Amino acid sequence: MHYVILRDDDTNALTPVNRLEQLYLPFLERGLPVNLAVIPEVRLDARRPDGGIERFLPEGHRPSEGTRRMEENPALVAYVRTNSGYHVAQHGCFHDCFEFDRVDQKAATHLMERGARRLLEAGFERPRAFVAPHDRFSRSGMAAAARRFDVVSTGWFELGRQPLAWWPHYSWKKARCAPHWQVGSTTLLSHPGCLLSRARAPKTILPAIRRQVEGQRLTVLVTHWWEYFDAGQPVSAFIDVLHETAAYLANTPNIRVISFGELARGGVPLS
């Protein structure tokens, strides 16, 4: 059996409900879980590493000081909560640039707890999985995440960014060429880059996904809802690929799509 976790990043209080629905209704109708990495309290002037405004903010949005909490968009919260196929992971706190790569342990802990509190205030369960903005952790940030979450999902792992006590575990992971590993009760997941990305030619995406999924036991597929829209208009060719991916995952007998929560409950092999 091959297992797949679909992780969609950057849902926030400014995300239009109809965009998530347009993208993920085919998954929900097939009973495939969609893990939304939700920004608990989005920064209204959030910036990318290159200094540009983050693309998950609405087109025409004027950057301003302050933040917007998820509970301030009750329609979005209700939509996610009433569709049992959605599963909420915590995506940082404000989604500041490299938010958990530039903080010490005390600051990382504060941000994680604030973010978790904002999700609880919106009516979601306390998240079991954590995703750092831009998939970047400092050593202190990684240690703080592992103490508070059952699952940490990121792009890759580097020795210098792991707590010193983890180095033997990390060395064993590297020796086995394992994409995923465990420290204590925390499962640490990597992913093969954003295979579902508009930066890729549409005709190459599904074949790449098939090779990846069928080549290892557990694959995290990462995408970003805002990539499927250009100036507010749907990019049909890219959306079609996403929906073809849903059909492939649902119709292949030896593939099972799971949530971060199911992984945390145990019983799913990592390799």
94 pLDDT exceeds 90? Answer: yes
pLDDT for the residue numbered 28 = 98
Neighbours of 123 (CB within 10 A): 13
Model confidence band, residue 271 (pLDDT cutoffs 50, 70, 90): confident
pLDDT for the residue numbered 102 = 78
pLDDT for the residue numbered 65 = 86
Q: What is the mean pLDDT of residues 146-163?
A: 95
> What span, in angstroms and rounded, lies between the C-alpha atoms of 202 and 129?
30
pLDDT for the residue numbered 198 = 95
64 pLDDT exceeds 90? Answer: no
Averaged pLDDT score across all residues of the chain: 96
Tokens of 267: 């019983």
> What span, in angstroms and rounded, lies between the C-alpha atoms of 5 and 16?
23
Instruction: Give pTM, 2 decimals.
Output: 0.96
Model pLDDT for residues 164-217, shown as the tens digit of each residue = 999 999 999 999 999 999 999 999 999 999 999 999 999 999 999 999 999 999
pLDDT for the residue numbered 62 = 80
Q: What is the mean pLDDT of residues 30-47?
A: 97
Model pLDDT for residues 19-28, shown as the tens digit of each residue = 999 999 999 9
Model confidence band, residue 132 (pLDDT cutoffs 50, 70, 90): very high
Neighbours of 167 (CB within 10 A): 12
Q: How many Å is the maximal CA-CA distance in the chain? A: 49
Domains and CATH numbers, the chain: 2-265 (3.20.20.370)
| Rg from Cα positions in the chain | 18
pLDDT for the residue numbered 161 = 92
Model confidence band, residue 79 (pLDDT cutoffs 50, 70, 90): very high
